[in-house]
Amino acid sequence: VRGPETAPKIIHLGSGDSTIPQDFWRKGYKDQLCVDFSSVVVETMSQRESETGGINWKQADVREMDLILSESVDIAFDKGTLDAMIHGSPWDPPDDVLDNTGRYIREVFRVLKSDASFIYITYRQPHFIKPLLECGGVDWDIQVDTVGGADGSFDYYGFVLKKLSPPFAASTERKTQKVDSG
């Protein structure tokens, strides 16, 4: 997606007490924001990582990240947050799942720069997840890779969603309108 030499701004969505921000930091990524719903987690991790420059912690609801400017993030990372919002039938998700996941995905889309990427790791099957990722108000180029699942364990999937820039999205919309109009 982007190497550390490009100094990307990374946001960890629902970071909890994950060690992933520290792993990224050791690889050279020095501009990271970790957001979590829990004030206890944010306070604990802020204290634990107070000596580590370049990793900041903020309390936020990922469905409404008013504290983050629009188009200010290069990479968004999720390993479990979207999954925590999903329950019920994967063939016909309940309305609250559609509402919560839609609000979340639109917020991620909002904070990402026009050429930025959203990296999402999940064990859920891509054919069930893609409709949630392609909710109204977003335009992604989606790539999916199997990133785990050996020795009889469940597969994990890595989604890389590249935010399409408005000019491309507008040209795609015009193409669709031309096709629809005759």
- DSSP 8-state code for residue 105: H
Query: What is the CB neighbour count within 10 angstroms for residue 73?
Result: 25
Share of the chain above pLDDT 90, in %: 79
The encoded tokens of residue 162 equal 């590249």
Mean pLDDT of 22-40: 96
How far apart are alpha carbons 82 and 104 in whole angstroms? 8
DSSP H helical ranges for 10-140: 20-26, 39-48, 81-84, 95-111, 126-133
Mean pLDDT of 97-119: 97
pTM score, whole prediction: 0.87
How far apart are alpha carbons 147 and 121 in whole angstroms? 8
Please name the residues in contact with 48: beta carbons below 8 A apart, sequence gap of 6 or more: none
The pLDDT mean for the chain works out to 89
Task: Name which of 170, 98, 171 is nearest 134 in CA terms.
Answer: 98
Confidence of residue 165 (pLDDT cuts 50, 70, 90): confident
How far apart are alpha carbons 30 and 25 in whole angstroms? 6
Q: Is the dihedral of CA 164, 158, 105, 90 positive or negative?
A: positive
Mean pLDDT of 104-133: 96
Amino acid at 43: E
Rounded to the nearest angstrom, the gap between the alpha carbon of residue 72 and the centroid of all alpha carbons in its chain is 14
How far apart are alpha carbons 138 and 136 in whole angstroms? 6
